[in-house]
Amino acid sequence: MHSKKKEDHFEDFFSDISSTLEDLCQSGFHTVHDSTLQELKERGETAAEYGMQHLSNLLLALREELSGSRHRVSVDRSKDSLCAKYYTELVTYMELGREKTAYDRGKNYYLAPSGEARPH
């Protein structure tokens, strides 16, 4: 049994966040499920533990805005705009994170010391 490589771990982490964002996209900003808010909180805390402070801040800020707007009667367009801003920044972060992970995987493959088995 082999342990997961760093790149595999980050791909899974980014995939989990993307899945949460897809759930949010389907539910909309005004009908967010408690489970989605919890996932945003957990992913934000995990990102902070990994040293990804900007990602953590985005996830937790989005959670805060969504949580506050769930039970609001009036439609505040500025809050929707702020949620959309956080959402699009997170989608961009996920794309860039996956791209960097792919580059790291390629670098590790091609720069593996000769004689050492290359990862599959």
For the chain, the structural domain boundaries read: 6-108
d(CA 24, CA 32) in angstroms, rounded, equals: 7
pLDDT digits (tens, 9 = 90+) for 55-110: 999 999 999 999 987 665 556 667 778 999 999 999 999 999 999 999 999 998 88
Q: Does the pTM exceed 0.75?
A: yes
d(CA 79, CA 90) in angstroms, rounded, equals: 17
